[in-house]
Amino acid sequence: MKIDKKLSVVELLKRAVKLLLSNINLALIIFLCCLPLFCFLIFFELSLQTTLSFTYHFLSKQVNVGKDLPENDLFLQTTTNYLTYQSLYQQRNIWEDLSENDLIPWLIKTSLLYFFPYTILDLLTTTMIVAASSTVYTSKEEPLGLIDLVDRSIKICRKRLGGCLVTTLYVLLLSTSVFLFFLPLCLLFFFGFFSHWADSLNIVGLIHERQTFLDLVPFLIYAMVVLVQATLFMYLTAKFIKWSAGWNMSLVVSVLEEGEDGEEGVYGSDALSLAAWYRKGHETRDVWMMLMFLIFALTTRMPCLYSKCSLSSNGNRMLYTGLYVGLICFGNVLKWLACVVRYHDCKARPLRKKADVEQARPPATEIPPKVLVFK
């Protein structure tokens, strides 16, 4: 039996890019579908940046990451960085006022924006992207026209939108539960580590000073705690990425899979189960692909978070935020196109295997009728 090789992550991405560039009408539809989500994400990301900045400063104060700035007169008279000190001191006072008064309202505001407008917009955009890209990917005709492609995609979305909403609610419930369980561990690891980073750097000095073993016991205990936290953090991160790959596949299943009646489709827990069945044997590839998109989303956000674009008073914050939001939207489009290609590859593989088995089976010989012998 000769079965096609499994598509690697690079091959999936190549097919996704080729699918996007193969039909200009598909690229135009995807662009128009992503435009409302792009405009909303600029507003949402500014709110998210502010919330993360306030949260980081509030938590860093609680664990004393930043030491208090010196306030004695000798320092003010002798330092050459007096202006820098004044700026940092004023910034610290501003951060204290903002974090104490505005942290909870910003958390509530950002959460509400995520659960209602963002989820609905993302659902509509994802459904249209998956339906249109699957139509182009499976079409054996010449490049589909714009009107024909829009008409076919809208018909698919109209039939499957209710089921996709149910699957989205399942995914939202699962992802939120995992995130709320995962968040305390992240905060414990990052802030616990960085709050004692100076102490961890003293190990070389302690060794050179020939300290006794008992002097090293506190540091060794701290190192073991950090090691356990880091291991657990990496394990749960891999699990979360694996689960997110299944959740994305379940959304694609809800859009493209036909049910027994051909109308309602597969959704909810059935979509999650079917997605898990399709992904058997492809888990490692899916983890690497989702990890790549996760790193891409984080790295595009980091420069703006580091420079605090949301708190900037000039107009560059909108420019920077719009730039990385555009990159995030492009990454999401590429991710869903790769998921469509992955879905069709996983679905066609059992059919190809069955066809290969039937071709390899020897031809059936004619069985002669039984002869009844009477004594």
> Which sequence spans correspond to the domains of the chain?
9-51+104-196+238-357
Rg (CA), the chain: 28
Residue 339 above 60 pLDDT? yes
Find all residues with CB under 8 Å of 145, minimum gap 6, and list them: 25
Mean predicted confidence (pLDDT) in 169-182: 86
CA-wise closest residue to 331 among 124, 38, 47: 38
pLDDT band at 354 (very low <50, low <70, confident <90, very high): very low
Block residue for tokens 């435009």: 35
Tokens found for residue 74: 């000798």
Mean predicted confidence (pLDDT) in 306-320: 69
Q: How many CB atoms lie within 10 A of CB 272?
A: 23
Q: How many CB atoms lie within 10 A of CB 235?
A: 10
DSSP string, 101-135: HHHHHHHHHHHHHIIIIIHHHHHHHHHHHHHHHHH
Q: What digits encode the pLDDT tens for the residues 2-59? A: 345 678 889 999 999 999 998 899 999 999 999 999 999 988 988 888 888 777 777 6
User: For 7, phi and psi rounded to 5 degrees?
Assistant: -70, 135
pLDDT in the model for residue 191: 58
Please give the mean pLDDT across all residues of the chain.
Answer: 75
* Interatomic CA distance for residues 320 and 301, integer angstroms: 10
Lowest mean per-residue pLDDT among 194-198, 209-213, 349-353? 194-198
pLDDT in the model for residue 4: 53
* Interatomic CA distance for residues 158 and 139, integer angstroms: 20
Highest-confidence segment of 38-47, 299-308, 365-374: 38-47
pLDDT in the model for residue 260: 66
Lowest mean per-residue pLDDT among 114-118, 172-176, 189-193, 306-310? 189-193
Q: What digits encode the pLDDT tens for the residues 210-260? A: 556 566 676 677 778 777 777 887 888 888 888 999 999 999 999 998 876
* Interatomic CA distance for residues 260 and 251, integer angstroms: 18
* Interatomic CA distance for residues 362 and 359, integer angstroms: 8
State percent of the chain over pLDDT 90. Answer: 27
pLDDT in the model for residue 238: 86
From first CA to last CA, the distance across the chain in angstroms is: 49
pLDDT band at 171 (very low <50, low <70, confident <90, very high): very high
DSSP string, 8-23: -HHHHHHHHHHHHHH-
Question: What's the pTM value of the predicted model, to 2 decimals?
Answer: 0.77
pLDDT band at 128 (very low <50, low <70, confident <90, very high): very high
Find all residues with CB under 8 Å of 215, minimum gap 6, and list them: 206
Residue 359 above 60 pLDDT? no
Residue 295 above 60 pLDDT? yes
pLDDT in the model for residue 225: 74
Mean predicted confidence (pLDDT) in 71-77: 42
Q: How many CB atoms lie within 10 A of CB 292?
A: 16
Higher-pLDDT residue of 354, 134: 134
Residue 186 above 80 pLDDT? no
